[in-house]
Amino acid sequence: MSELELSVAIENLLVARNLRQMRTAQAALRPGYYLRAARHLRGLEGKVLIGTGFPVADTFETDGPVGAIALYEALAALGAEPVLACAPPLFDALEQDFRVLPLPTSDPDRAERDAQAALAELAPRAIISIERPGVTDDGRYYNMRGEDISERCGIFDPFLARANCPTIAIGDGGNEIGMGKIAGAISALDIRVSVTGCDELLVADVSNWGAYGLIAFLGQWAGKDLLGRVSPVAILDYLSVRGSVDGVTRENTPTEDGLEASEGCAVIEQLRQLTGFADSDDRQ
Q: Does residue 282 carry a pLDDT above 60?
A: no
Task: Kindly report the CATH class assigned to 3-273.
Answer: alpha beta
Instruction: Check: CB of residue 247 under 8 Å from CB of residue 90.
Output: no
Q: Which residues of 89-110 are buried (b: 16+ CB within 10 A; e: fewer)?
A: bbbebbeeebbbbbbbbeeeee
Q: How far apart are CA 101 and CA 219, in angstroms?
A: 26
Q: Does residue 257 carry a pLDDT above 80?
A: yes
- The whole-number average pLDDT for the span 220-239 is 97
Q: How far apart are CA 195 and CA 139, in angstroms?
A: 9
Q: What is the pLDDT of residues 109-137, one digit of tens each?
A: 989 999 999 999 999 999 999 999 999 99
Q: What is the pLDDT of residues 14-70, one digit of tens each?
A: 999 999 999 999 999 999 999 999 999 999 999 999 999 999 989 999 999 999 999
Q: Using 50, 70 and 90 to split pLDDT, how confident is the model at 283? A: very low
Neighbours of 68 (CB within 10 A): 30
Q: Using 50, 70 and 90 to split pLDDT, how confident is the model at 165? A: very high
Q: Does residue 278 carry a pLDDT above 90?
A: no
Question: Which positions ≥6 away from 90 have C-beta within 8 Å?
Answer: 52, 53, 60, 65
Average predicted confidence (pLDDT) for the chain: 95
- The whole-number average pLDDT for the span 163-167 is 97
- Domain range annotation of the chain: 3-273
- The whole-number average pLDDT for the span 74-103 is 97
Q: Using 50, 70 and 90 to split pLDDT, how confident is the model at 250? A: very high
Instruction: Check: CB of residue 110 under 8 Å from CB of residue 104.
Output: yes
Q: Does residue 284 carry a pLDDT above 50?
A: no
Instruction: Check: CB of residue 273 under 8 Å from CB of residue 1.
Output: no
Instruction: Check: CB of residue 232 under 8 Å from CB of residue 268.
Output: yes
Give me the residues paired with residue 61 across strands. 245
- Give SS3 for 235: helix
Instruction: Check: CB of residue 272 under 8 Å from CB of residue 10.
Output: no
Instruction: Check: CB of residue 49 under 8 Å from CB of residue 209.
Output: no
- The whole-number average pLDDT for the span 198-204 is 98
